[in-house]
Amino acid sequence: MPPAATLDDVLAPLLAAPARAAVLLDIDGTLAPIVRHADDAHVPEPTRAPLITIAKTYGLVACISGRRATTARRIVSLGSITYVGNHGAEILRGGQTTPEVDPEVAEWGRRVRRFADEQLRIDELHRLRIRGEDKDVIYGFHWRGAPDEDAAEVAVRALAERAEAAGFVTHFGRKILEVRPPVELHKGKGVDRLLDDAPQIEVALYVGDDRTDLDAFTALREAVADGRLRQAVCVGVRSDETPPELDEAADLLVDGPLGVRSALEVLAGSA
């Protein structure tokens, strides 16, 4: 993309042929505003409206989330599109009720939860009000909104060291630590799976706001390099917590979920 690319510039390849285009979206911080408590997240109705139109028009529409696929669907409240959950570990297709889980990852679910249960019994985590989120094969520890976020982050980083010593993989996002199985697990894996199932797609857009979304950017660009896609469009979502790596990797940055809504309205306008 040119250095001064506009929203119209970057979306033009999708608008030219919607039936052969994929619209792939992160949820938290992208479609849904970041909230103090993760369970309170939802996609506002003015954002859902163009997304509903897009779902009827574009060749592939999917949300790729670090949450469970069923949780992602609840937040978006649109059952006709596909949801990739747990950073590529599971996929919930439009109209289905049960997600398909990667067999290699599924067996780790019990071990991750057992470790998380042990950690949540530590008094310090309760005192600092660090909150757990069971994502089945992944477990998240949130410190956003804790009375002392700095102290809570120190405690969570110590928890991450314990997790790594126990053989798990850790990943930090926006005020969340995820404890993951020691297998390949990232949003790029989910993007690859979606593209493999949709050979008609020639152009794909991905929109995200965090470091975990960089893997999706990479997957799209690798799909162009190996000929599976003709063009990839990578849009970052700007916030006061934007990782510098996202700024560098994106073709364009939009301003928060409202900027994402504007992009969706442009895409829906072609319908």
Q: Are residues 54 and 174 in the same domain?
A: no
Cα–Cα distance measured from residue 1 to residue 9, given in angstroms and rounded to the nearest whole number: 8
Length of the chain: 271
Q: Are residues 209 and 82 in the same domain?
A: yes
Q: Are residues 91 and 218 in the same domain?
A: yes
| 42, 191, 238 from 209: Cα distances, Å | 16, 16, 7
Strands of the sheet containing 139-142, edge to edge, are: 131-134, 139-142, 176-180, 169-172
Residue 129: domain span:
109-180
CATH assignment of the domain containing 159 = 3.30.70
- Which of 110-119, 194-203, 254-263 shows the lowest per-residue confidence on average (mean pLDDT)? 110-119
Dump the DSSP string for 173-226.
-SSEEEEE-SS---HHHHHHHHHHT-TT--EEEEEE-SGGGHHHHHHHHHHHHT
The pLDDT tens digits for 8-49 are 999 999 999 999 999 999 999 999 998 878 778 899 999 999
Residue 236: which pLDDT band, with cuts at 50, 70 and 90?
Answer: very high
Residue 1 inside a domain? The answer is: no
At residue 36, the pLDDT reads 79
- What six digits make up the tokens of 146? 């804790």
At residue 12, the pLDDT reads 96
Q: Where a domain ends, among 180, 198, 223?
A: 180
Residue 4: which pLDDT band, with cuts at 50, 70 and 90?
Answer: low
From the number of C-beta atoms within 10 Å of its C-beta (0-12, 13-18, 19+), residue 225 rates as exposed
Q: Where a domain ends, among 180, 212, 235?
A: 180
Write down the mean pLDDT value for the chain: 92
Q: Assess whether pLDDT exceeds 70 at residue 3.
A: no
Residue 13 inside a domain? The answer is: yes
Residue 244 inside a domain? The answer is: yes
Residue 128 inside a domain? The answer is: yes
Q: Are residues 78 and 25 in the same domain?
A: yes
At residue 252, the pLDDT reads 96
170 within 8 A of 178, measured Cβ to Cβ: yes
Domain count, the chain: 2
The pLDDT tens digits for 120-178 are 999 999 999 999 998 878 899 999 999 999 999 999 999 999 999 999 999 998 899 99
Percent of the chain, pLDDT > 70? Answer: 98
Tell me the average pLDDT across 201-206.
Answer: 98
At residue 253, the pLDDT reads 96
